[in-house]
């Protein structure tokens, strides 16, 4: 199964307003990990029904969400520090699982009162980014077609003066078509040069001067292109387990 096939199955669950029932993994009714069990079964595959075991045994690469670099089709997890008694490690409790589908969207079977819904991976308030899903990983048995190329690098829009920064339709100072992006917004970097970054803000894609972007996790400016390439390569090595 490819990442896009997995995402499509979850989109079907969302559109169909599937119900949440603990322990369920059948058409129209699933729990958080049961959604994965159901989707895998459609393609002749199997995965353990339980988010803690999925994190421990069914990921080829994993880590904290703000460090690993998100890829559409990754499993994302909510976490508590106390490890369930059935596990002998000290990794903690990965008590809930969802599927990251890109553009800061997670699809999940949230609970009895919610059903199958979508929500954000992170939110931003007063320029500070808070991750609602603490861990993420690449799923075994899934072929990542977009893979590293579509990996989201998060950046925060910043400016010394003013409340907005222009995201232009083309990488040109004379481009008259633009959107005003509020300072403090979190955007995804698609590609980057020393002067311009191609970014995604919500559903909109455009170009912003690199000097107006800082790393959403470290607040480090993206002003040195060679250094940015090194950062990207290090993230790729993390995903590949290198």
- Chain segment 157-169, per-residue pLDDT in tens: 899 888 999 999 9
pLDDT tens digit string along 183-193? 888 788 877 78
Task: Check if 3-148 and 153-239 are the same fold.
Answer: no
Mean pLDDT throughout 213-230?
58
- Smallest CA-to-CA distance from 98 within 216, 1, 200, 13 is with 13
CATH 2.40.420.20 fits 153-239, yes or no: no
Q: How confident is the model at residue 230 (pLDDT cuts 50, 70, 90)?
A: low
**Helix locations, 49-110, DSSP H:** 51-57, 65-68
Query: Could you give phi then psi for residue 63, rounded to 5 degrees?
Result: 170, -170
- Answer whether 166's CB lies under 8 Å from 180's CB: yes
User: Residue 135: which H helix or E strand, with range?
Assistant: strand 135-139
What fold characterizes domain 3-148? endopeptidase fold (from Nostoc punctiforme) (3.90.1720)
Q: Is 150 helix (H, G, I), strand (E, B) or coil?
A: helix
Domain ranges of the chain: 3-148, 153-239
């Amino acid at each position: 199964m490819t990442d896009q096939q997995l995402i499509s199955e979850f989109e079907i669950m969302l559109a169909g307003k599937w119900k949440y029932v603990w322990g369920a993994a059948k058409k129209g009714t699933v729990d958080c990990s049961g959604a994965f069990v159901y989707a895998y079964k459609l393609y002749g595959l199997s995965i353990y029904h339980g988010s803690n075991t999925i994190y421990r045994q069914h990921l080829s690469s994993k880590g904290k969400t703000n460090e690993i670099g998100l890829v559409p089709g990754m499993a994302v997890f909510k976490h508590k520090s106390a490890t369930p008694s059935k596990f002998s490690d000290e990794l903690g409790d990965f008590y809930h699982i969802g599927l990251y589908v890109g553009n800061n969207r997670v699809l999940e079977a949230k609970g009895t009162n919610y059903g199958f819904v979508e929500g954000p991976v992170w939110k931003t308030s007063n320029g500070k980014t808070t991750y609602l899903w603490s861990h993420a990983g690449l799923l075994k048995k899934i072929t990542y077609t977009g893979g590293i190329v579509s990996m989201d690098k998060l950046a925060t829009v910043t400016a010394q003066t003013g409340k907005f920064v222009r995201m232009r339709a083309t990488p040109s100072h004379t481009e008259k078509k633009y959107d005003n992006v509020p300072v403090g917004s979190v955007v995804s970097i698609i590609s980057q040069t020393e002067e311009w970054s191609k970014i995604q803000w919500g559903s909109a894609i455009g170009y912003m001067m690199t000097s107006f972007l800082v790393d959403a996790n470290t607040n480090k400016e993206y002003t040195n292109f060679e250094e940015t390439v090194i950062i990207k390569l290090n993230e790729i090595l993390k995903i590949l387990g290198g």
